[in-house]
Amino acid sequence: MPVVGVIGGGQLARMMIPPAVALGIELRVLAEAPDASARLAATAVGDYRDEATVLAFALECDVITFDHEHVPQAVLHALVATGSAVHPGPDALLYAQDKLMMRERLSQLGVPQPDWARVSSADELAGFLADHGGRAVVKTPRGGYDGKGVRMVSQAHEADDWLAEGPVLAEERVSFQRELAQLIARRPSGPTQVWPLVETVQRGGVCAEVIAPAPHVTDAVERAAAEIATTVANGVGVTGVLAVELFESTDGRVLVNELAMRPHNSGHVTIDGSITSQFEQHLRAVLDWPLGDTEPLAPWGVMINVFGELPPPAIAAALGHQPTVKVHAYGKGPREGRKAGHVTAIGDDLDETVYRARAAAAHFD
């Protein structure tokens, strides 16, 4: 039985458990803590930044993959040096870890993206602002997620605290019609498979809802998104699932916002809405097994994130009120604002499907 080791015990590792159970794959998780979301599959608890911990964990795994992109490059390279199959590998993960390197690489690949610059001083930021209508998005190259490490600026000194630590990424503030996400999986041997393009609705810099497929977009936008994801996956050598977060700008361009080299929040709708979920596909991809069909199970799928907590009585109430909706709880203790679960509805009519998903999610407000 193939053994897949996952570094990180969050909800992404947790959601790999069901397809591993189905496919007869042994999943092992290196968790941060004994009560991690993926604790059921945890075979080790330790610090993913510690080389000895990670190497010991990897010893009896056929493939190593990830719940997050934070494993240091030195640890990743040590893994590769010991002969571990690491998917995605360090050279790909670099571009998910460092946003400045990501922008440089996408430029080399000719992938459409917002105007950007590496900015090392308030003076340089002033120049970038002057060239972009007096507004920009500034991002720390590393460590950001869910809106953290991202700041909208209109004054040259608004990023001084970050600039004291090193260069930052300045990006054109794109005027967009909507945000989209293109999910793709790629095997080490090369084949790729995309899912239908989805729309992601953000609130406060965090994904709130996903609609699959993205409504209102043209065929040209769908083709552009799939082409971008394929170019990035092949160009960067991603193995496993790659999520490309995109803007559809008001002037009709499709531009790369962010990359994630792992199953992604924008793909949770595939668990209940696709022939092959992103979690099953990720396992198949990192094992270099054939990829599954990504057709939707219904014309529409709607996923809504739940923050804070999902108390069991609320789960029961949601299931009772909406017997067609699927509820996913990540087994985390309550914490304000943290992603704690999601609900998914699928159906023939978009409005009705959105209604059912929201009606179920409302039980967790």
> Which stretches of the chain bind its own copies, using CB under 8 A?
1-2, 14-15, 17-18, 21-24, 26, 40-41, 271, 275-276, 284, 287, 289-293, 295, 297-298, 310, 312, 315-316, 319-320, 323-324, 326-331, 341
**Best CA proximity match to 122, nearest among 94, 158, 71:** 158
Return phi, psi of residue 339, to 5°.
-65, 120
Min CB(293)–its own copies separation in Å:
4
Min CB(232)–its own copies separation in Å:
23
Min CB(350)–its own copies separation in Å:
18
- Pairing of β 116-119 and β 136-139: unpaired
Instruction: State which residue, 68 or 268, has the beta carbon closest to its own copies.
Output: 268
Instruction: State which residue, 34 or 312, has the beta carbon closest to its own copies.
Output: 312
Min CB(83)–its own copies separation in Å:
20
**Do 211 and 302 form a contact (C-beta atoms < 8 A)?**
yes
Instruction: State which residue, 1 or 81, has the beta carbon closest to its own copies.
Output: 1
Min CB(225)–its own copies separation in Å:
22
Kindly give the interhelix angle for 73-81 and 51-58, rounded to the nearest 10 degrees.
40
- In sequence order, which residues have a C-beta less than 8 Å from that of residue 156 and are 6 or more positions away? 122, 123, 125, 126, 129
Min CB(324)–its own copies separation in Å:
4
**Do 251 and 174 form a contact (C-beta atoms < 8 A)?**
no
Instruction: State which residue, 22 or 220, has the beta carbon closest to its own copies.
Output: 22
**Do 223 and 207 form a contact (C-beta atoms < 8 A)?**
no
Instruction: State which residue, 167 or 292, has the beta carbon closest to its own copies.
Output: 292
Min CB(32)–its own copies separation in Å:
18
**Cis peptide preceding 72, ω within 30 of 0:** no
- Tokens standing for residue 365: 């407000």
Q: What single DSSP character describes residue 197? A: P
> What CA–CA distance (Å, rounded) separates 16 from 57?
18
Instruction: State which residue, 163 or 343, has the beta carbon closest to its own copies.
Output: 343
Kindly give the interhelix angle for 73-81 and 90-97, rounded to the nearest 10 degrees.
170
Instruction: State which residue, 188 or 341, has the beta carbon closest to its own copies.
Output: 341
